[in-house]
Structures are given as structure tokens and as C-alpha cells.
Amino acid sequence: MRRLLILVPVWAWLLAFVAAPAVILLGIALGQSTEGIPPFAPPVGPGLVWQGSLGNFATLFEDEFYFDSLLRALRIATSTAALALLLGFPMALAIARAPRARQALLLALVLLPFWTGFLLRMGAFIGLLRDQGLINGLLIGLGVVQEPLPLLYTEGAMLAGMLHAYLPFAVLPLYAALSRLDPVLEQAAMDLGATPGAAFRTVTLPLALPGIIAGFLLVFIPAAGEFVIPELLGPSEALPVGRVLWQEFFQNRDWPLAAALAVALLVLLILPIRLFQRLESRA
């Protein structure tokens, strides 16, 4: 069978590097941290003896530090996705209504910053926002403030960076939904007595809803686990789960606890992920 020749390597790869990692992650989360290399004891010891425990998960619930980090990540992801929709919707609408020939160029303008290196763009935000940065320099030079404003390492700086990184993810599905929409429908609504506002509310918005939800989730899901942007731009306390996981892994070398955090994050994201996949398969 020629099909097997193609399917066997694909299956082998996916089982080894997608399916197995999920199982192993859960396994290690049930294991225990030890001093050693690698620094953990798996839940199944020599001679197939069960030595795992739910201790790590108990820690997540008992220690507010971890529990709050999960909630905080969800809150930040929600704010980021909402901001991205708020800014992305008028953008997508303007692109979808632009002349066909210009749409490709406008989309390229939205996507190109995305190709310039994510870390470099965060570097630009540092350069703009820090105490000796461009914005504070301007404000002091103009005499608006005497002392530099604390802009960097704030929630605002973090959200600005997140928005910059994820805005294209919101614009694309919104554009896809809005460009499919027949403009005649809005005209029909107005012909039947709807003001432009009412036509937008009763026709355009409900028909763009799948795109709106997809755009929200496409930002929300990766933003919930984001590590780099909170690390580079955000405040140094009140950490979201991405940073806590990173700390547990790289600084405290508590691999089982980091794995438990990853599992907890996954559990929280399962509903949004399933919803997103349903939307994608319908489109």
C-alpha cells in the first residue's frame, strides 16, 4: 500500500513528538522533584512501583501564588484579546471595504511587522518606554513632567506589547469574515428602514460573529501562556503563569511543579481550544 508509505512516518512522528509529550507531561506532573539529573523522580519507579502523587496539583490549589498566577494569565489574555478586537475590528472593516486591488497591500502592511522579529519589536517598546526612553525624553524636554514617568515594567507596557504582538491574529479572521459578507445585505436592511447603526447592529455584527469569536480565541489562547512579553515589559511582581512556570523550571529546577502548571494551564484552555477548532472546521 502506497498510503502506508506516507502514513507510517507521519504517525510515528506525531506519536513521538505530539502525543507522547502530552502523556509524559502529565506523568512528570505526578512525579516528584529530586536533586539529580534529570531533577525528578517519575511516578513509576524501578520495578513498575507506583510512587507518584497529586502533591504538585495540591500545591497549585493551596498556594495562592500559583493559583493567582493562573487567574492573572486568564485576565491578561482576556484584556489583550478584547483590545485586539476593539482595534482590529475597524481595521478589518476598512480593509474589507477597500478596493480589491488595495486589500492585499493593506493586509501586507498589517502582517509585515509580524515578520520583523518579535524580540526586536519588544526591544523597540523598551526603547520607547523606559525612564531614559524616547517618550519620557520628549515629555521632559517639553516640560510636561520633571521626573520620568514609570512607563516600563507596568501592566500598561505589557498590554501594549501583547497588543502589538497579537493584533494581526485578530485582524485576519475578522477580515476573512467581513470580506465574505455581502454588502447588499446592509443595503437591504437600510431599505427596510434600518439606520446605518441599526443595520450594523442587526446584520453586519451577527454575521461577523464567528470571525469575532475566532479572532478573540486566536489571541486569547497564546496570550494566556505568554512568557516573554510579561518578562520584558511587565511588572516584576504579580506574575502570570507563563513567567511562574519559567521560574519553576529554570530557576528553581522544580520540573514536576512546572509540568503541573503546564497541565493546569492546558485544562483551563481546553474549552477555548475546542471552541476554536469547532469554528475552524466549520469555516
Partner 1 sequence: MADTLLEARGLTRRFGAALALDALDLAIRPGEFFALLGGSGSGKSTLLRLIAGLDAPDGGALFLDGRDITADPPWARPVHMMFQSYALFPHMSVAENVGYGLRRVGVARGEQARRIAEALALVKLDGLGARRPHHLSGGQRQRVALARSLVMRPRLLLLDEPLAALDAGLREQTGFELRALQRQTGAAFVMVTHDQEEALALADRIAVLEGGRLVQVGTPEEVYWRPATAFVARFLGAANIVEPATLPLKPQVAGAAAYALRPEYIRLTRIGGASDSDLRAIRPSDHRTLGHEETGPNRVMGVVREAAFRGDSTLFVVALEAGGALRVTVHADDPMPEMGERVALAWDPDDLAPLAA
Partner 2 sequence: MKRGRVGSWGLALGLGFLWVPVLLLVGFAFSADRIPFQWGGVSLRWFAALAANERLIEAAWLSIRIAAGAATLAMLIGGAAGFALARWGGFGGRVLLGGLIGAPLVLPEVVTGLSLLLTFVALEALTGWPEGRGALTVLLAHGTLGAAYVAVVVQARLAGGERVLEEAAMDLGAGPFTAFCTVTLPLMVPALAAGWLLAFTLSLDDLVVASFVSGPEGTTLPMVLFSALRLGLTPEVNALGAVILLLAGALVGLAMLLLRARRVEGQGEGG
Q: Which 151-190 residues touch partner 1, going by CB under 8 A?
A: 182, 184-185, 187-190
**Cα-flanking dihedrals φ and ψ of residue 45, to 5°?**
-85, -175
We find the least distance from the C-beta atom of residue 209 to partner 1, in angstroms, to be 8
Q: How far apart are the first and last CA of the chain?
A: 33
Counts of helices then strands in the chain (DSSP H, E): 14, 4
| Region 137-196 residues binding partner 2, contact defined as CB under 8 A | 137, 163-164, 167-168, 171, 196
Query: Is the distance from CB of 146 to CB of 180 less than 8 angstroms?
Result: no
- For 16, counting Cβ atoms within 10 Å of its Cβ (0-12 exposed, 13-18 middle, 19+ buried), the class is exposed
Query: Is the distance from CB of 73 to CB of 241 less than 8 angstroms?
Result: yes
Q: Among 44, 82, 107, 124, indicate the residue that binds partner 2 (CB under 8 A).
A: 124
Site string for partner 2, 62-101 (x = CB under 8 A): -------------------------xxxxx-xxx-x----
We find the least distance from the C-beta atom of residue 192 to partner 2, in angstroms, to be 17
Cα–Cα distance between 179 and 97 in angstroms, integer?
A: 7
Site string for partner 1, 207-236 (x = CB under 8 A): x-----------------------------
Q: Among 60, 76, 130, 175, indicate the residue that binds partner 2 (CB under 8 A).
A: 130
Residue 206 lies near partner 1 (rule: CB under 8 A): yes
Best CA proximity match to 118, nearest among 233, 261, 221, 211: 233
Q: Which of the listed partners (partner 2, partner 1, none) does 230 bind, with a CB threshold of 5 to 8 Å by partner kind?
A: none
What is the DSSP secondary structure assignment for residue 149, as one 8-state letter?
A: P
Nearer CB in complex with partner 1: 96/203: 203
Q: Which of the listed partners (partner 2, partner 1, none) does 249 bind, with a CB threshold of 5 to 8 Å by partner kind?
A: partner 2
Residue 97 lies near partner 1 (rule: CB under 8 A): no
The residue assigned the cell 469555516 is 283
Site string for partner 1, 242-281 (x = CB under 8 A): ----------------------------------------
We find the least distance from the C-beta atom of residue 204 to partner 2, in angstroms, to be 9
Cα–Cα distance between 102 and 94 in angstroms, integer?
A: 11
Q: Provide the strand spans (E) within the chain.
A: 32-33, 40-41, 44-45, 49-50
Residue 24 lies near partner 2 (rule: CB under 8 A): yes
Query: Is the distance from CB of 224 to CB of 77 less than 8 angstroms?
Result: yes
In 3-state terms, what secondary structure has residue 32?
Answer: strand
How many residues bind to partner 2 according to rule CB under 8 A?
87
Q: Which residues bind partner 1 (CB under 8 A)?
A: 182, 184-185, 187-195, 198-199, 202-203, 206-207
